[in-house]
Amino acid sequence: MPSPLFDLTGKVAIVTGSSKGIGKSIAMHLALAGAKVVVSSRKQPVCEEAAAEIRKAGGEAIVIPCNISDKAQCERLVAETRNQLGPVDVLVCNAASNPYYGPTENLPDDVFMKIMQNNILSNIWLINLCLPDMRAKKDGSIMIVSSIGGVRASTVIGAYCISKAADMQLARNLAAEYGPDNIRVNTIAPGLVTTDFARALYEDPKRRAEREAATPLRRLGQPDDIGGIAVMLAGKAGAFITGQTLIADGGVTVGG
């Protein structure tokens, strides 16, 4: 029989940016572990496709679209989740944006502010909205999908990396604040994963081959390499982990 450490039966989970890629894998595996999952991104049709795939696999999923840059939509996301499924037990802040590639000296102010709002401030909004449910139960798991960009320098996606480093610090701060209520806050930091979001970083065959050669496991990541980590952090298997950044990068950051 499956280990009870990975049993999420009865838990309600919101996963932002979950219509495809890493977010979709997280939503799928949370649902297969027993959670009732909210699939959410800006566009309802692709959310419906992802939710249908989860249900076909045997999981439970509903759709509540949300543009995380809009606070009112974040409020609606949490309120509708509560109305349809009940109090929130698990929040995965996966949605993020990276609209700029290039040196920091040419980065427009408005683009920088958009990255900070979408990748940091929206997470704070969603966390604060879910906090009352978790405090009432004295139990909860919050995950922010960060990136190894938060621990490495970059000459082309510097603002994105700044935002991801900030997410790591946000998790540390909130882990200390919410720990007395048994609410765990962690970040997951993937390396290069083959998603549409990261396509510009691996679609060139030469660049991809170079990256694979520099990775100890000699391959790029797949979304399911991240989905299982979320299942662990959501349940009893991760009950004593908080304030941490779990790096899943095939060994890139250790070299070799």
pLDDT in tens, 12-62: 999 999 999 999 999 999 999 999 999 999 999 999 999 999 999 999 999
Q: How large is the average pLDDT for residues 211-240?
A: 95
Q: Which helix (H) or strand (E) holds 187?
A: strand 183-190
Q: Are 7 and 34 in contact (CB under 8 A)?
A: yes
For residue 119, give both structure tokens.
């990748």
Distance CA 167, CA 238 (A): 19
pLDDT band at 164 (very low <50, low <70, confident <90, very high): very high
Percent of the chain having pLDDT more than 70?
A: 98
Specify whether 178 is catalytic. no
pLDDT value of residue 206: 84
Distance CA 221, CA 226 (A): 8
> Of 234, 225, 223, 135, which is closest to residue 182 (Cα–Cα)?
135
pLDDT value of residue 90: 98
pLDDT band at 256 (very low <50, low <70, confident <90, very high): low
Output the average pLDDT for the chain.
Answer: 95
Catalytic residue among 100, 160, 178, 202: 160
Q: How large is the average pLDDT for residues 75-95?
A: 98
Domains of the chain: 4-246 (3.40.50.720)
Distance CA 27, CA 24 (A): 5
- For residue 72, pLDDT over 90 is answered with yes
pLDDT band at 201 (very low <50, low <70, confident <90, very high): low
pLDDT value of residue 130: 98
Sequence-distant contacts of 197-201: CB under 8 A, at least 24 apart:
197/21, 197/22, 197/96, 197/98, 200/101
* H-type alpha helices, the chain: 21-32, 44-56, 71-84, 109-116, 122-137, 158-178, 199-202, 205-213, 224-234
